[in-house]
Structure 1
Amino acid sequence: MDKVKNLMKKLAALQAGNIKEQEPLKNHTTWKIGGPAALFFEPSSVEGLEKAMKAIVAEEVPWFVIGKGSNLLISDNGIQGVVIKLGENMTELIQDGETLRVGAGYSLIRLATIMSKKGYSGLEFAGGIPGTVGGAVFMNAGAHGSDISQILQRTRVLLPDGSITWYTKEEMHFSYRTSRLQTEQGICLEAEFLLKKGDREKITKEMQANKEYRRHSQPWNYPCCGSVFRNPLPNYAGKLIEEAGLKGHTIGGAQISEMHANFIVNIGEAKAADVMNLISYVQKTIYDKYGIKMVPEVELIGESSF
């Protein structure tokens, strides 16, 4: 904890952003689950984040990055390090014709909505994905037959040594819900997308249809993180879980959604341990019944309480 205290003093001296101690992470996740972060830091700018990262690395404090907090299951014991939140101060948007440069903290839904109204195609799939641009790049987020890798040209990444580099689409090593940022430490600062000018009415209609599909098929009336399991292609996670009769199964405050079986919802003060036990129960049931291994899409983060 001495390192954390030292880091807090350094970050305060740098005046690089807002700092909080023991911040409850359930206030920053869409599941409304998660213990405290020893340090919680919101950089005021890319430059502020650069300075802060040098201090974090010098003090050898573990770090983790969040955006809107979707697709995350954070331990009830929290994170004994520094959590960096990329938010409103990292939302620059520059458009040059069909090319966009977008800050990592920008809302993906907002971006998709704005560009569809302008008549630019490529982001229709993202109309209902509840995350940031940075999180979407990290996960290669996708839906409706498309994903981030289809439109990304390159991404600007802050490396742990404080240097900044650009990775091309090829260098990001994208695959299904995967990128190199999941295996190598680095923070997406901004992304460059290539869209296509098209028929505004047709683009808006397609995105609205995608939004409506999500609204009617997914349980956003309860705190949830999005899809819990990766689809074990050619099968679909939700279909397997539903066919196994697991819809509505509840452990503690966590429940497999009655609306969509690949969603686990927080129906009342759920703990991370409740969700993890439910994930394990699904994995065992599906493996015993079908011989299929279910791999979580959600990231499991923090001091072990799972």
Structure 2
Amino acid sequence: MLAGRLNVATGAFEIEELPVPDPRAGQVRIAVKAAGVCLSDVHLIEGMLNPAHLAGDSVTLGHEVSGVIDELGPGVTRWQPGQRVLLLAGELDAAGRVLTRGVDYDGGWAEYTLASQSTLVAIPDDLPFEQAAIIPDAVSTPWAAVTATAGTRPAQAVGVWGSGGLGAHAVQLLRMIGAAPIIAVDPLPAARDRALEFGADLALDPDDPDLAERVFAESGGLAVAFDFAGVPAVREQAVGCLAPQGKLVLVGLTDQPLTITGGTRFSYLQQQVLGHYGSLAVHIEELVALIRRRRLDFSRSVSGVLPLASAADAVDRLAHKKGNPIRLILRP
């Protein structure tokens, strides 16, 4: 089979031919139908992110995966061949460590991949594989950030910095739960337009010298500001737009230090900074339930579908924002 493999020691990414894997006890083999290309994959290839628990130097990338169950391993009773599923983006190992698919163990940029039976979620027959694949991470990460980490409530003023793959979905999800107003901030005009299409009430350029004044005029100060960009300047700007007791939720990843100017004011106003990473199985299940009830539609989120052999091209398009994609999908 073909697989997109990264050597984390050398940074080399190649499409390789590998044996089709056999499922072990408690595992199933998935015939992959769609796999998302995420900025985290770009960061892995560029070396900004490094696997914490990878055994060896090479890994098949891809943590956003959907497909059809192809073969059951010994002891699997919950599933049957032919079922349509999506795969959680990670799992806990026996030591309680969080392992990420496509980072700490082989992921779904391949014709076939293995998954523990506990990491599968059944999907409706009418949900396209391309849309199902992006639910783990591209949708579930902002959903968990909005509902669990931030505890966002209806009618709360919120800001979303970065309207890419995660931020655009955050706007859509915030709109669904009734946050208001929703203020999107992005340097790209096309991204600002997309945020408005997805439900933002106002979209601003971060270079606007009057940004903070416009945010306060629109909202009175933000109850929650979400950083999906992972840029230090974004975080500094977002803190300056918070209301008393407002929260800054850090979703975008960066290896740069976090600095808050005016620490006394920050403490006096009882503001908070909250880190966020990923999602849990319950968040995936909630989203699938909402899709079944026609509360959500991700047809606008698939910006392009490429063959697995063109994975390097997909990475380049995402890294350089060619066409301003939300999510690019690889199809084996």
TM-score (norm 1): 0.29
